[in-house]
Structure 1
């Protein structure tokens, strides 16, 4: 009986120990089951954050490499364009005639200059009766000065027409690219549909491409024939897009806006400087005009200026001062922008 009572007491003690242990384990299991999702989400979020951080760092490094390579490509393109521009500073007579849009060769131009000088010299000798010094001046002006002045005026007028039409041509390219046409087809549209001198210049680029020349080289040659900043801007934009990529339509659209703003600024400067130019023209033409009217009304009063040594020095001094005044006024009314 004593042994049975001891066994019963041992079972009771073991039961009293095991029951709290099972209750504690059950409570711990319930707490773990309730709190595990929160800890799991936190660990997963931290893991995703670490992974995304690594990937973000790699992506940022790759993006930085791409941007640095694009910057390097743009800098190289600008440097090449500047080197080509510096190399093409020497302008030959043939290039000037191409810029003027004439079919005349340099030999024909020199021959026409000689004929012009001969005609003016003959007129000065047989009609005006000028002395030898005056004849030499007329020969110099008629053979070298007048033909080159006319040629430069033709070049400037043609360049002004080209710049005035370039923004509309760029808009044609932008609309063509947005509609799905390649750049070469857009240039062909400009060459066939645009007015002169835009059509002839882009037609030359199209013909050069047919002979195997790249578009960038064709535009560079076009910049040599038409050396205006607007054409240089367009060439640089297209060259950078071909080398570094990007949205060409957006870049050209921004360029067209910039060109129109430059034209508006030029017109505003022209309007603001019109009064100053008119004043300079009046002041510059007043002395020779008064001298001509005095000569026509009373020749004996002004003839000592042309027949005496003192009169010759006075005419020379007046001409020098007038030239200096005209140059100063020209410098004052010409604005660079």
Structure 2
């Protein structure tokens, strides 16, 4: 009986030892298997990253990246364009907002008094309304309109010379020069505003700023789509590699084709622009001619309350019509 119990106990110990050995070996194998699986997974993820990088160099992926960056740049430009400081930068002026408001206030005060001098037949409240309207236009509208014209003229001059700058950079790269030397050539050879802007770009890069950051600063001063295209091409080429001279050469061709398309749109829409201009100028022009030839005929429009209300309503409707026609003939490409 004792021998049977001893045999059973030894058998239990042997079986337990075998089970522990098998269990321990299984855990070791499981750990090894887990490690091997993680290694395979890391290899798979590494290969996936390589595939993503390879896909990023394809033309489709590049076009997708360019489209996304253009949308982001357009959003930033819309926000920046609303500020007065940005408009002054676009016009090439020192962004001194306080001086601008002081100058606008002086213009508004000066424009307030001529209606009281030249419209003596009108009642006081009528002259007051006309004076306030003239003051508002001179204080708020006229300076911003002049600022917008200066900015538009400067940006237009920049975009006209920009494809030539691309050609200079492309020829420099093909001859073995680095990109920074090509930018220096543009700063030296091109006229304002292209040359000074590229000179500032070269100076910013020289003090340690990245080329992408310097181009972003340049885009704040020149809100031109052509400059955004150039910045995006440089940014993508720095990340994914590729033939920069070919990319910039294609960009130069696209910019020239874009300019030709703009001139074609302008030629096709010239009739609509002329018609809108004639329609907008005709009513005040006819009123001025009648006032010069038959002042007694049109005098009740300024002296009578009903005539003044009619003039006010006509001015409001004319303003709305001119804005609507401007919206219809303002083609963007």
Corresponding position of 1:111: 102
Corresponding position of 2:14: none
Corresponding position of 1:148: 144
How far off its partner does 1:258 sit? Answer: 0.4
Matches within 5 A, 1:62-77: 64-70=51-57
How far off its partner does 1:76 sit? Answer: 6.2
Q: Are residues 84 and 233 of structure 1, via their aligned partners in 2, closer, same or farther at CA, if it must alter by over 3 Å?
A: closer
- Does the 8 Å contact 1:73/1:244 carry over to 2? no
Corresponding position of 2:80: 90
Corresponding position of 1:19: none
Number of positions where the alignment pairs a residue of Structure 1 with one of Structure 2 = 278
- Does the 8 Å contact 1:116/1:142 carry over to 2? yes
String of CA shifts for 1:65-103, please: whole Å, max 9, x gaps.
Answer: 542244678866765664455345134322221110123
Q: Are residues 275 and 298 of structure 1, via their aligned partners in 2, closer, same or farther at CA, if it must alter by over 3 Å?
A: same
- Does the 8 Å contact 2:89/2:220 carry over to 1? no
Once residues 162 and 247 of structure 1 are traced to their aligned partners in structure 2, the CA distance between those partners, rounded to angstroms, is 26
- Secondary structure, counterpart of 2:80 in structure 1: coil
Corresponding position of 1:284: 280
How far off its partner does 1:126 sit? Answer: 4.1
- Does the 8 Å contact 1:190/1:199 carry over to 2? yes
- Secondary structure, counterpart of 1:140 in structure 2: helix
**What value does the CA root-mean-square deviation take over the aligned residues?**
2.5
Q: Are residues 87 and 184 of structure 1, via their aligned partners in 2, closer, same or farther at CA, if it must alter by over 3 Å?
A: same
* Partner of residue 153 from structure 2, selected from 154, 157, 179: 157
* Partner of residue 227 from structure 2, selected from 212, 226, 231: 231
- Secondary structure, counterpart of 2:104 in structure 1: helix
Q: Are residues 318 and 76 of structure 1, via their aligned partners in 2, closer, same or farther at CA, if it must alter by over 3 Å?
A: closer
Corresponding position of 1:30: none
Q: Which has the higher contact order (CA 8 A, sep 6+)?
A: 2
Once residues 327 and 333 of structure 1 are traced to their aligned partners in structure 2, the CA distance between those partners, rounded to angstroms, is 10
Corresponding position of 1:132: 128
How far off its partner does 1:263 sit? Answer: 0.5
* Partner of residue 250 from structure 1, selected from 241, 246, 249: 246
- Secondary structure, counterpart of 1:131 in structure 2: helix
Gaps of 5+ in 2: 1-46, 121-125
- Aligned pair 1:259/2:255, yes or no? yes
Q: Are residues 128 and 198 of structure 1, via their aligned partners in 2, closer, same or farther at CA, if it must alter by over 3 Å?
A: farther
Once residues 284 and 52 of structure 2 are traced to their aligned partners in structure 1, the CA distance between those partners, rounded to angstroms, is 69
Corresponding position of 2:309: 313
- Does the 8 Å contact 1:171/1:256 carry over to 2? yes
Gaps of 5+ in 1: 1-59
Once residues 92 and 64 of structure 2 are traced to their aligned partners in structure 1, the CA distance between those partners, rounded to angstroms, is 33
How far off its partner does 1:170 sit? Answer: 0.3
Corresponding position of 1:211: 207
Q: Are residues 229 and 84 of structure 1, via their aligned partners in 2, closer, same or farther at CA, if it must alter by over 3 Å?
A: closer
Q: Are residues 240 and 305 of structure 1, via their aligned partners in 2, closer, same or farther at CA, if it must alter by over 3 Å?
A: same
Once residues 77 and 285 of structure 1 are traced to their aligned partners in structure 2, the CA distance between those partners, rounded to angstroms, is 43
- Aligned pair 1:304/2:295, yes or no? no
- Secondary structure, counterpart of 1:90 in structure 2: helix
Once residues 273 and 237 of structure 1 are traced to their aligned partners in structure 2, the CA distance between those partners, rounded to angstroms, is 32
- Which TM-score applies when normalising by structure 2? 0.76
- Does the 8 Å contact 2:119/2:127 carry over to 1? no
Once residues 333 and 204 of structure 1 are traced to their aligned partners in structure 2, the CA distance between those partners, rounded to angstroms, is 37
Corresponding position of 1:102: 93
